[in-house]
Structure 1
């Protein structure tokens, strides 16, 4: 395994990082699955209502990103890499759904409606910065190489 790849896996984060990984991963996994289970309310229909382009392509794409990314976070596998598309996902979600609420209904309505979005964004950013922690597949893979950075 290359030194650069090992840096991606290595983490000095505390064991409690597992709690953040499970919370963020489970929510993304659940939301991704629901885009397929309830396409009218949470998938293509919602993306159409919001006015996102090509909703019939974008909604399933986002659903797959959330399912794959959430699963990787739950496993602690390629955690930093998995966090990147999830961060982008949340930035787009906030821009497309929460900024209009801010402009139309004000700060407090937006703050209330965006609490999960901001939690998911900050949780994903945290995992990008600190990695998966010791209770993860990343830690096992990194330990096998013996390369520490």
Structure 2
């Protein structure tokens, strides 16, 4: 497996449901990530620090980066697998680390982003994506 297939490899599945899911999840997650990245990072950093996470400034930045730029990459289908990996890691930490002691209702949103991210990590973006366009060349 070469670096191009890791970064841009995708299935050539032409199912329109794949595109709809990718665009919807990417757009929806951006509504959580962009406010953190561009205006709420200090407040988010304080929240991350309150969880006892080591290096809270770094971890808060990485989570906000995954939620904002990772979701943008997912939405357009570019470097989908690496973006999905970042999103899945962030959502797993959110579900288990931030909301692990809470009931499922508090964890639910993180799991609802985790599962599609895992799907795109395993499957790729599909035929209608920038990854597919790049991998064909």
Q: TM-score higher than 0.5 here?
A: yes
Q: Does the 8 Å CA contact 1:12/1:130 hold for their aligned counterparts?
A: no
State yes or no: 1:18 paired with 2:40: no
Shift of 1:74: 0.9
SS in 1 for 2:16: coil
The number of residues matched between the two structures is: 134
Q: Which runs of 5+ in 2 are unaligned?
A: none
TM-score (norm 1): 0.77
How well do the aligned residues superpose, as a CA RMSD in angstroms? 2.2
TM-score (norm 2): 0.83
* In structure 1, distance between residues paired with 2:79 and 2:49: 32
* Cross-structure match for 2:106: 113
SS in 1 for 2:126: coil
Q: Does the 8 Å CA contact 1:87/1:125 hold for their aligned counterparts?
A: yes
* In structure 2, distance between residues paired with 1:100 and 1:40: 24
* In structure 2, distance between residues paired with 1:124 and 1:65: 11
* In structure 1, distance between residues paired with 2:50 and 2:5: 43
Report the CA distance shift for 1:17/1:40 in structure 2 as closer, same or farther (over 3 A).
same
